[in-house]
Structure 1
């Protein structure tokens, strides 16, 4: 049986590189790895509303799924993020009734929105975690580390180079820096560029 890693939701923030999208950061329970996933606005809203326990005027799609499953005596046992291919994550929803078990293919964002509504755990395979995760390093003295230095830089309108323009060594250095600064959105973009080259 494949090894599964339990995850918890650590944060949800707007994605500055893709308009209308958000970055959902999942953390390894009892571990240091973080799994950043870019999701759509609708799914982000569905996750945020349930976390904040805000009840919309009319049921959202994920609420409808919960009502439907409950009406037919199905329960959600767990969500598993199964794989990551070319920067795209895959997941399954494990449903169970008194006499039947069903695995339903799903986008991770939808699966997590449903998991929150059922109060069920979220897992990922070691394969998905190793391909998509970034390490989280604790910085003992963040104030000292991030103390602003006097700027001698001249402001120009020069465009920042694309990640494609950097060498693999430079990308790995940039990835370490992004993780150290807890900029998981940037770390995810750099990780995806590194994975494309491997």
Structure 2
């Protein structure tokens, strides 16, 4: 299968879910962004994994598991986010034995898989289908009038019913949502735009 490589663009506080964070992954070639809602502990663990110089006084769960993997002569080869169902991402962690080459695949939550991947500097991949279903592409080329009025005119009440908006207004609002790192709203808008495109097809 032709997998698409993702890079970690950052972690931001979720605008709509209290205590949750949005992990932002991005496809290197197309710049399509894949926002994944994760918990506070996983966000902290991924951040610490990215900051190689920062070491917690006691090992976190992902540090402990990483040590176990290394001690059993395995290495983490890659993480693959292979599907999304009802907004939930499903991932596999691919291990390989350093001596006999034996491969081991474990099912994992995407947040845990990414937390492990950063500790092994392992690549993260996804499928084209997942990118098509959950990816967000920020369209920079928008006319200035639309983008300037979008922030001023769209109140919370207006955004609560996306179905009443024109496709142009939705695209402008989508751009603003991504800029403001409100990926929950961005995904809702993306779903509405896809629903309209299906009707046209």
Bin the TM-score by the shorter chain.
0.7 to 0.9
Q: What pairs up with 1:22-37 in 2 under 5 angstroms? A: 22-37=21-36
Alpha-carbon offset, residue 136 of structure 1:
2.3
Moved more, 183-192 or 28-37: 183-192
- Native 8 Å contact 1:83 1:91 kept in 2: yes
Alpha-carbon offset, residue 179 of structure 1:
3.8
- TM-score, scaled relative to structure 1: 0.81
Q: Secondary structure at the match of 2:56?
A: coil
Alpha-carbon deviations, 1:20-55, whole Å to 9, x = none? 000111110121211011111110000111222321
Q: Which residue of 2 aligns with 1:88?
A: 88
Identify unmatched segments of 5+ residues in structure 2: none
Alpha-carbon offset, residue 126 of structure 1:
1.1
Q: Which residue of 2 aligns with 1:5?
A: 4
- TM-score, scaled relative to structure 2: 0.80
How far apart, in 2, do the equivalents of 1:137 and 1:15 lie? 22
Q: Which residue of 2 aligns with 1:19?
A: 18
Q: Secondary structure at the match of 1:13?
A: strand
How far apart, in 2, do the equivalents of 1:171 and 1:42 lie? 39
- Native 8 Å contact 1:81 1:90 kept in 2: yes
Q: Which residue of 2 aligns with 1:176?
A: 171
RMSD (Å) for aligned C-alpha atoms: 3.1
Q: How many residues align?
A: 188
Alpha-carbon offset, residue 177 of structure 1:
2.1
- Native 8 Å contact 2:33 2:136 kept in 1: yes
How far apart, in 2, do the equivalents of 1:78 and 1:190 lie? 31
Alpha-carbon deviations, 1:48-100, whole Å to 9, x = none? 11222321111001101110000000011100000001110000000010331
Q: Which residue of 2 aligns with 1:123?
A: 125
Q: Secondary structure at the match of 1:160?
A: helix
Q: What pairs up with 1:20-59 in 2 under 5 angstroms? A: 20-53=19-52, 54-59=54-59
